[in-house]
Structure 1
Amino acid sequence: MPLFYVRGMPIGGTAIMLALVASMGGFIFGYDTGQISDILIMNDFKLRFATCTNPSDVSTCAFSTVRAGLIVSLLSIGTLAGALMGAIIADRIGRRYAMIIECAVFCIGVAVQLASFHVWQQVAVGRFISGLAVGALSAAVPMYQAETAPTQIRGTLTATYQLFITFGILVAYCIALGTRDLPGAQSWRTVIGIGLIWPCMLSFGILFMPESPRWLAAQGRLKEASHSIARSYGIKEIDESSDRFVQAEVSEIANQIELERRLQGGWIDCFKPRNKTLYRTLLGMALQSFQQLTGANYFFYYGATIFLSVGIEDSFVTQIILGAVNFFCTFGGLYVMERYGRRLPLIYGGIWQSAWLFVFAAAGTAKDPTTNSGIGKLMIVSACMFILGYAMTWAPGVWILIGETFPTKTRAKQGALATASNWLWNFLIAFFTPFIVSGIGFKYGFVFAACNLAGAVVVFFFLYESSDLSLESVDNMYNDPACKPWTSRTWAPVGYTSRYDLVEQTKAAQARKPFASGAIEEKHIEDVGDGSEVGSSVQTGVGSDGKQNGAAKDVKDAV
């Protein structure tokens, strides 16, 4: 039986569980990202892997900039390679089994790190291997969630991946706080070893979840796709009416897959200026790059070291504060991006983040924070305020835009290019931060402040407002010569008098309650059979004139 109904559609418990279980992939990434900052300052880890003038005195031990940079950043190189391979693996063997294999690779990387005794290169290689898995999971998990979750809650369930990343970072900080006083290598090996739990949970749990109906349909396994959809909607026993409903959705998926096969373009098509394809490729890569250049990972990777250098004795606690702000503010980010669109949150977020980074850098530059407790506290507050803005704007916003900015023909490849640019800058920041900090200290914050302002400027002049629009309408908007990025908030597709008219008609369509008794009504089955999605004129592109102008009509015409 369904757990509840959204816009009149049944939602089964399996839909909720598949989002939570698959999001463990994001948790794995967050945990592996968060743990290294605290591990780098643990006494036994420094004695084993840092350079010590007196091997028996930890105060004489320090990591060189090259060593610290490689230990931290090789994870990012692995994720870059893994992200490019992840979609290929998931297409070849299925979403679920791809995740299981990737979890096994992650465990191998953890084992390599745990087996390290005095060779820091082994720790770095272990993180590289784990990074391969993390990158592949970053491609497979959101894809699986988007393809399997019911349409009515797809956005929310897919966003749990980003939420679990922040949760993983917070949990890593908390565990490191609890293990830091353990004797010898137990302090850091416990933190790393606990990381084996999360891939085991994902591997075991995903076995009980349905495979992506879209992947099954692509393999010609339409009957299995039907059962997968039925489980997501909480339909245990398929009767005549529900069978027609499920089969209609399977047919729509199959038609869309056939259309994509006909339209699919190569890598070179991503760089053709026609239909603003090159424009959007460069825009996506720029947005992902600026997400890294906000400076968030400056705090996540080196936060404990940063706050140790400002005179904070218990930098572990400070990291937990940052992690908690990041995690809880992500909930607000989901609301902000839905309520205020895409452009305004990114513009104001960039300005907000720049302002607090300027405070952080100016305070650390003006006075020595190790001798002035007030300056140290101001820097902590400014860092928290920066994370607050980032978690509510640029953290979730860029990932949402990557899914809705590109045309169907090259969407997957443009998304891969954009994500690859994210991981590339992730590596560059992780590797070069020790060098830069050793040269300019807290003035590094001014660099990130400038990048945040530059990101806001790019959004203002180049990003179109895509909220409330179907993917087909977004494509039309980018190709409308009369529409400019700064006027795109009021643009509406053909058939609507205004964007407000679009939103109001969508609300009216969503207000229908066809499943009040849990039964599927014939008129809604017919709607689905016609290629429209129940209760959503935004997705189908049904205009105020009652005509289809969206993806459903395109599928029917092409197929």
Structure 2
Amino acid sequence: MGDQKSDPNVVPGTLELHSPKKPKRNAFAFGCAVLASTMACILGYDVGVMSGAVIFIQKDLNLNDVQVEIMMGIINLYALIGAIAAGRTSDYLGRRYTIVIAAIILFIGALLMGLAPNYAVLMLGRAFAGVAIGFAITAPVFIAEIAPASSRGFLASLPEVIVNFGILLGYVSNFAFQKLPEHLNWRVMLGLGAIPSVLIGIGILFMPESPRWLVMQGRLGEARRVLIRVSDSEAEAESRLSDIKEAAGIQDHYNDDVVQVTKKSHGEGVWKELILHPTPSVRRVLIAAVGIHFVQQSSGVDTVVLYSPRIFKTAGITGNSALLGASVAVGFVKTGMILVATFLLDRVGRRPLLLGSLGGMVGCLAVLATSLTIIDHHHGETKLWWAIGVAVVMALGFVGCFSIGLGPIAWVYSSEIFPLRLRAQGVSIGLSVNRVTSGVIGMTFLSLTKAITVGGAFFLFCGIAFLGWVFCYTWLPETQRRTLEEMDELFGESDWRSTAKRMRERDEESVKKRAVEHMNIVAGSS
């Protein structure tokens, strides 16, 4: 007893009521999350580069506004097809190979767009790119399933960080290649996305498979070895494995590497459990996932990402260089704020960031809409530079508020709340709603602005964002530091606030118990 070391997180002689010191992030889990997230960089690049490339595509191929709207928004509807296919594919082949398939499809799409001789081939390339975006939903699922609860928010938000970095690279590519001949510049911009997809696809083959998927296949030995590598200790790995086996309905087989499972999770019957006959907790989870994805896109953020040059032109900025430079500023703000969000998700929690983000978006959209309306009604010869400045600042503020909360949290939240068996296809439903909503807005924005003006469109988005704040406040509980296996309990009762309070009290009792046990050890050793 005398040589036992005291716990450095508890001061001897005192009763420590706070949580133990947060462990360092697992380096291997971080590396896997970064590698899985790299696919998002190419997807983000495609979104960002199209916002500027469309200026030159429209001139080179002589497209009208309706064709431009369809070209910009149709990728999201193709993503719906990819998302539906990806849920079942990742249950059947595993998370890792599904991400590789996404890389292959994206390579084909980028190549077709870069070499497109006409509008039809360009649209075919957009179809491949859209399906790849749908398949890429597997990345946040994989990350959520390997990440320890203590850093799941940080790791699961990495795809959103890297997609924003990709958007920024797309904007920079627009700015860098704009001086090339008009028939060549947009093809170079779009075709560059093909190069890294091959390297990423090969790199992903060196990642381990999701331990939760391995358990569902009865491959317990492989799952244990992966969990040991991505957990902070072997004891934590065994605890996680036990929780996963319990959630999967597998009896304890501690010494068995492979066991026969009565229901191998290849996605059989999942749609029935999700849609036709959901339990109350599954229904609440599904509404939460669908709702947060709808709010994310219906608030209009993609209009700023896809049509930023047009919006800034409406505000009074002229010249391709100035318009593309302002778009680069949008990319820098989005990327910078998403980086801030990754470090706050596991410290501040999901709800405070989400509600603060939506509140900021409502305010910025209201001021942006007002300033654009003032500019639209100004008929003097001189420009209203103050209104132009306000519009630009509010557009940047809007994407900044989005990126510090709603942007990453929608993906983190939906990837962590579904039960194990329903997770892949549940997340695919959330992404389907996300992409359909984004597609509808992307394909109607120009027509909407002609009908109710640009300012009117942003007033509409402001109202939707406010309703989104109300939904998130009333329906979404805090999931910070909860294991994936605890989500069913959190969503299992109609009064989630009481459940969350009870879970916090249970955690505090556990901390007190550990502190008392430590004090007894210290007293005995002295």
Aligned-partner Cα distance in 2 for 1:471–1:185: 51
**Higher RCO (CA 8 Å, separation ≥ 6 residues):** 2
| Number of aligned residue pairs | 477
1:457 aligns with 2:470: yes
Per the TM alignment, residue 325 of structure 1 is displaced from its structure 2 partner at its CA by 0.8
Q: Deviations over 1:426-455 (max 9, x none)?
A: 110111112112222211110100001111
- 2:187 & 2:309 partners in 1: Cα distance? 18
- After superposition, the CA RMSD in angstroms is 3.4
In the aligned structure 1, how far is the partner of 2:281 from the partner of 2:245?
28
Report if the CA contact (8 A) 2:154-2:343 is conserved.
Answer: no
Instruction: Determine the structure 2 residue equivalent to 1:18.
Output: 32
Alpha-carbon spacing, 1:8–1:379, altered in 2? closer, same or farther (3 Å): closer
The aligned counterpart of 1:373 is 385
Match of 1:445 in 2: 458
Q: 2: CA distance between counterparts of 1:381 and 1:170?
A: 18
Aligned to 2:163: 165
Displacement of 1:34 in angstroms is 0.8
Tell me if structure 2 keeps the 8 A contact 1:150–1:233.
yes
Cα displacement (A) at 1:479: 4.1
1:35 equivalent to 2:35? Answer: no
Asked if residue 397 in structure 1 is aligned to residue 409 in structure 2, the reply is yes
The question of whether the paired residues in 2 share the 8 Å contact of 1:83 and 1:132 is answered with yes
Say whether 1:257 aligns with 2:248.
yes
Q: Residue in 1 aligned with 2:254?
A: none
> CA separation in 2, counterparts of 1:308 and 1:277?
46
Amino acid at match of 1:98: T
1:189, CA displacement in angstroms? 1.6
Moved more, 221-230 or 310-319: 221-230
Cα distance between partner residues in 1 of 2:214 and 2:278: 34
Answer whether contact 2:83 2:429 (CA < 8 A) is retained: no
Say whether residues 1:270 and 2:274 are aligned partners: yes
Distance 2:476 2:238 in 1: 38
Any idea what SS the aligned residue of 2:366 has? helix
- Given the alignment, which residue of 334, 337, 341 partners 1:333? 341
Encode CA deviations 1:105-127: one digit per residue, 9 max, x unaligned. Answer: 1111112212222x213212211
Counterpart for residue 327 of structure 2: 319
Amino acid at match of 1:197: I
Alignment-derived partner of residue 476 in structure 1? 489
The verdict on how the C-alpha distance between 1:197 and 1:41 changes in structure 2, with shifts beyond 3 A counting, is: same
Alignment of 1:496-511 (within 5 A): 499=504, 502=507, 505=510
Which residue matches 1:64? 64
8 A contact 2:40–2:162 mirrored in 1? yes
Alignment map for 1:266-305 (pairs within 5 Å): 266-271=270-275, 272=277, 274-305=279-310
Taking a change above 3 Å as real, the CA distance of residues 411 and 134 of structure 1, as seen in their structure-2 partners, is closer
State the alpha-carbon separation in 1 of the partners of residues 413 and 298 from structure 2: 17
Q: Is the 8 A contact 2:153 2:342 kept in 1?
A: no
Give how far 1:99 is off. Answer: 2.1
Q: 1:276: Cα distance to partner?
A: 4.7
For 1:220 and 1:324, locate their aligned partners in 2 and report how far apart those are by CA, in whole Å.
Answer: 45
Q: Is the 8 A contact 2:33 2:155 kept in 1?
A: yes
1:464 Cα offset (Å): 3.0
Q: Deviations over 1:216-235 (max 9, x none)?
A: 44444444445444554699
- Mapped contact 1:351–1:456 kept (Cα < 8 A): yes
Structure 2 partner of 1:111:
111
Which residue in 2 is equivalent to 1:345?
A: 353
> Which of the numbers 349, 369, 390 marks the counterpart of 1:361?
369
Give the partner amino acid of 1:15: A
Answering whether residue 100 of structure 2 is matched by residue 95 of structure 1, we say: no
Gaps of 5+ in 1: 1-5, 51-62, 236-241, 514-559
State the match for 1:74 in structure 2: 74
Contact 1:112 1:123 in 2 (8 A): yes
Q: Is the 8 A contact 2:45 2:170 kept in 1?
A: yes
Percent of pairs with identical residues: 25
Question: For structure 2, which runs of at least 5 residues remain unmatched after alignment?
Answer: 1-19, 251-260, 519-526
Secondary structure of the residue that 2:501 maps to in structure 1?
coil
The Cα offsets for residues 472-494 of structure 1, whole Å up to 9 and x where unpaired, read as 5543344445x3x6xx288423x
